[in-house]
Structure 1
C-alpha cells in the first residue's frame, strides 16, 4: 500500500513540476493554475507618472490610463443605463447604447442562463458595470429582453437576454466602440444581447490563428490569421509570466487573443498557453511570453513595430526575437 501511495505522489509531483517549469512561478496572483502578474514598465509609454498602477504581482488597480479609468484603485462608477437606444455603426451594424450614447458591451466569459457576471476586481475597473436602475428598452425592441443580475456586493446589473452589460473606460465619447473585440472576449451588444459583429470581427479575433511568413528583411516571422506581424515586448517576463504593457500601451500594441493549438501552422506550441491578465484580458503566449500586434501596421506584411523603442521585436517560429534585423 505504501509503495503504491509513494508512486502516486511521485507522479503527481512530476505533473506539478511540469506545469511549473512551463511558465515559471510567481509569488503573486495565480489564475487558473497560471502565474500571472504585471511588471513595472519603466520607460514605456503610459508608465512613469501615468498611474497605470499595475505592479509586482498584478494586484494593483488600473488608474490614469487617459481614458477615464478610476484612480487609486477605486472601482469605476456604475451608472444606470436610463433610456437605451440603438445606434447604427458603420462596421458593427446595430449597437446598443445607454442614455448618453455610450456603447454597452457583453463578456464571453459571462453566462446568460442563469445570468452570471465573471468580471470582478481589476476587470470591473476596466469594464464598469451598467446598473439596472431605470433602464428602459429602446423604441421598437422587446422590453422582455431587459433583466438584471445581483452581483456579490448587492448591486443590480443590467442584463439583455441574460447577458450582463458593461461600459468600457476607454470609450471617452458617445459612439466610441474601442472595446470591440478586446481580448477576443469583449463585444459591443446588439439590441437583442447578441454580439454586434456585422463586419465579422468576432470570428476574426477569436480565431486568430498563427502561421509563418517569410519576410524579405526579417526572415521567417510569426503572423496572425490576417497576416499581421506578431511581436514580443522585452520588458515582459515569461519566467514568471508578467506583462509590462498595460493601459495606453495596449492601444498601440493590442494583445493576440487566445489561439487553438490546432490553428498553429509551423509555429512552436511550446508554452503556448493563455495568459489571464489582471485587466481581464485573455492573451496568447508563445513559450510563455505574451504576444501582440502593432496598431502602426496597417496591412499584412507591414513590420513597422520592429525595433520600436529598442524593446519591441517580431517573433520567429521558435519564439526567438528578430533583434538582428534592420
Structure 2
C-alpha cells in the first residue's frame, strides 16, 4: 500500500511539474485551482450570463421559467444563420451543446435557466413545413415539461429583447439557434454554402475537437469542433501562462474548452520541443485549452463557420495559427 501511494504521489507531482515547465502558472506554485468552482457572480459559467443582469421578466429559474408558452412555432430566415426556429412572438429558440438529445436531457438548471428560460412543451405547435414528429418533451428536475426538437431541449435567451434577436448565438461556444430540423442553425447555413468560400462547408459534427482550415485572406487558421475560428489575445501572458480575458470579456470571447490531443488534426501539440499543448489553469476555475501556452478563444461575433469578425479587434485579438502564433495580416 505504501509503495502504491508513493507511486501515485510521484505521478501527480510529475504532472504538475510538466505543466509548470511547459507554460508556468498564473497562480502561485501548489495552488493552481484547476478544479475550482466558478465565481459566484457568474463569471466563468457555462451559460454566458457574465456579470450582467438578465432582462427583467425574461424568465426565472425552475417553474417560473415555464410561464411563457411557445404557441405556434415559426421558421424565420436569418441573413447570417439561414433558417431558425422562433416562438409565436418571433423570439429565437436555442439549443445547448451540453444537453443530450438521445435520450433527451437538460443540463441547464438554476442560474442557467434564468439566463436561458426553458421553452414549455405545452401549447407548442409545429411551424408550417416543419416535421411535427420531431417535436417532443423532456421532464426537468422540477417536474415541468420542456419542449424538444429532434430530442434537443429548446430555450430562449434572456438578453434577446425583441423578435429576431440572435444575441445568444455562439455564447460560450455552446449555445446555438436551432434550425427547423433540430440541428444548429449555423451548421445548416454552412451546409447550404454560406461558408464554402472560406472552406467551412463541412458540417460541424464531422470536425475534430480542433483542426485547421485555409482562409483566403489569413491562411491556415485553427477552428473548433463547430468550425468556428479560434483566436488569441495579445494581453494574455504566455509565461507564466495567464488569461487576462475575464468577467464580461468572456461573453464576447468564450474560452475553448480542453480537447484531447488525439482529437485534433493539423494542430502543433509540441512547439519548439516544448509541450505547449496544455490546459490553462485559470483563476476563475474555467478549464481552457492552449497552444504553445497561448490561451484559446472563439468570438461571439462570428455567426457561422468561416467568419473572422474577431480578427484585429482592438488591435489585440488575432486568429490563431496551428503553432499558436497570432496571424496578423
1:38-73 CA distances to partner (integer Å, 9 max, x unpaired)?
5xxxxxxxxxxxxx9336x979994762762889xx
Structure 2: 5+ residue stretches without partners: 20-24, 191-199
How is 1:1-326 mapped onto 2 (pairs within 5 angstroms)? Answer: 5-18=1-14, 22=19, 34-35=35-36, 37-38=38-39, 53-54=41-42, 62=49, 65=52, 68=55, 75=61, 78=65, 79-196=68-185, 197-200=187-190, 203=204, 209=211, 223-225=221-223, 230-232=231-233, 234=235, 244-247=245-248, 250-251=251-252, 253-256=253-256, 261=261, 262-263=264-265, 265-266=267-268, 268=270, 270=276, 272-273=278-279, 284-286=289-291, 290-292=295-297, 304-305=312-313
Which structure's relative contact order is higher, taking Cα pairs within 8 Å and 6+ residues apart? 2
Q: Which runs of 5+ in 1 are unaligned?
A: 39-51, 214-221
2-structure distance, mates of 1:230, 1:296: 12
Aligned equivalents of 2:311, 2:13: Cα separation in 1:
38
The superposition leaves residues 165-188 of structure 1 with CA deviations (integer Å, 9 ceiling, x where unpaired) of: 112233232112233333443222
Give, in whole Å, the separation in 1 of the partners of 2:267 and 2:70. Answer: 45
Distance 1:70 1:287 in 2: 45
**TM-score, length-scaled by structure 2:** 0.63
With normalisation by structure 1, the TM-score equals 0.63
How many pairs align?
289
Please give the per-residue CA displacement for 1:197-221, whole angstroms capped at 9, x wherever unaligned.
233276399755369x9xxxxxxxx
**Structure 1 residues 94-103 or 118-127, which shifts more?**
118-127
Q: Structure 1 residues 167 and 206 mapped into 2: Cα distance closer, same or farther (>3 Å)?
A: farther
Contact 2:85/2:180, CA 8 A, preserved across alignment: yes
SS at match of 1:284: strand
Q: Is the deviation greater in 106-115 or in 228-237?
A: 228-237
* 8 Å Cα contact 2:312-2:318 kept in structure 1: no
Q: Which residue of 2 aligns with 1:46?
A: none
Please identify, of 238-247 and 177-186, the stretch whose mean Cα deviation from structure 2 is larger: 238-247
